Amino acid sequence: MSAAEQAASKRNAGYRAAEEVEDGMNVGLGTGSTVFFAMERLGERIAKDGLSIAGVPTSYQAAIRARRYGIPLTSLDEHPELDIAIDGADQVDPALRLIKGRGAALLREKCVCDAARRAVVVVDGTKMVETLDAPVPVEVLPFAVEAVSRRLAALGADPVLREGVKKDGPVVTDNGNFIVDCGFGTIADPGRLETEIASIPGVLECGLFCAYTEKITVIVGEEKGCSVVSLH
Ligand SMILES: O=C(CO)[C@H](O)[C@H](O)COP(=O)(O)O
């Protein structure tokens, strides 16, 4: 897929997801290039059609984008139950289990996904895979990063501390933590691995999302149009 085709696919997925949002909804706003297209379209609907919504952003980056598009913001404290969450993903398998976290926003993204009645996941076709095998990002308390990395290696990972592109040293998340990217190769049992990673003291969250398959709708953008996948 060329870069132009991928951008068109992401845009189509994002724009289609924005149509799932109805007047009065509280909306979880994920982080990433695809969900930012959904925000762009929501901004248009707010400006042109008077759509009234409030968004809960999952990162500083999402909050900045939302403000740019004129989306009013609220917090998870104000709205601990959300009508819908829209977010991207790095991989989606046929059971609608996800790997997320390339943008290092996975901790808040999982909180928002958990709080939402429905989760709409927006991807281009390259993200749809038969078996999850991308590195799993794990958000780790800096105090415990070496100890956690040893535990992750014992689970079969090849843990790599994520470093900044535009800054020296480790990436520091919006929550003040580090990200350790864990290549496991092909993941035979993603749900079990998610539970095992979560049980390590010092792990805040990991990018495997296996518990939300029933409420997830995946919108797969194509160069012209999109397809919709859900288990119900
Ligand atoms: O999980 C994420 C951020 O933490 C993103 O949603 C995921 O990386 C997809 O990003 P993009 O839409 O830019 O491909």
* Structure confidence by residue, pLDDT tens digits, 182-227: 999 999 999 999 999 999 999 999 999 999 999 999 999 999 999 9
Give the residue, by CA position, lying nearest to ligand 1 atom 3: 103
Question: Residue 167: pLDDT band by 50, 70, 90 thresholds?
Answer: confident
How many structural domains does the chain have? Answer: 2
Cα distance between residue 115 and residue 80, in whole Å: 6
CA–CA distance, 137 with 176 (Å, rounded to integer): 15
How many CB atoms sit inside 10 A of residue 49's CB? 9
- In short, whether 88's Cβ falls inside 6 Å of ligand 1 is yes
Question: Angle 56-58-63 (CA atoms, 0-180°, nearest 5)?
Answer: 70
Ligand 1: does its nearest atom lie under 6 Å from the Cβ of 173? no
In a domain, 78, yes or no: yes
Residue 124: predicted pLDDT: 97
Helix (H) or strand (E) holding 183: strand 178-183
Considering the domain architecture, whether residues 109 and 218 belong to the same structural domain is answered as yes
Helices (H), 19-132: 33-49, 60-68, 106-115
Task: Pick the atom of ligand 1 nearest to 33's CA.
Answer: 13
Quick one: which H or E segment has residue 28? Answer: strand 26-29
Asked if the model's pLDDT at residue 94 lies above 90, the reply is yes
List pLDDT tens digits, range 119-156: 999 999 999 999 999 999 999 999 999 999 999 999 99
The percentage of the chain sitting over the pLDDT mark of 90, rounded to a whole number, equals 97
Is 172 in the same domain as 116? no
pTM summary value: 0.96
pLDDT > 90? residue 14:
yes
- Determine the average pLDDT of the residues in 92-117: 97
Q: Are residues 108 and 141 in the same domain?
A: no
- How many angstroms separate the CA atoms of 115 and 98, rounded? 17
Domain that includes residue 155, residue range: 136-205
Residue 85, pLDDT > 90, answer yes
User: Interface pTM (ipTM) of the complex?
Assistant: 0.98
CA of residue 195 to ligand 1 center, whole Å = 22
Q: Hey, which residues are catalytic here?
A: 109
Binding-site residues sit at 31-34, 87-90, 100-103, 127
Q: Is there a single domain that holds both residue 113 and residue 180?
A: no
Question: Is the minimum distance from the CB of 109 to ligand 1 under 6 angstroms?
Answer: yes
**CATH number for the domain harbouring residue 157:** 3.30.70.260
- By most ligand atoms within 8 Å of CB, the mutation choice from 10, 102, 122 for ligand 1 is 102
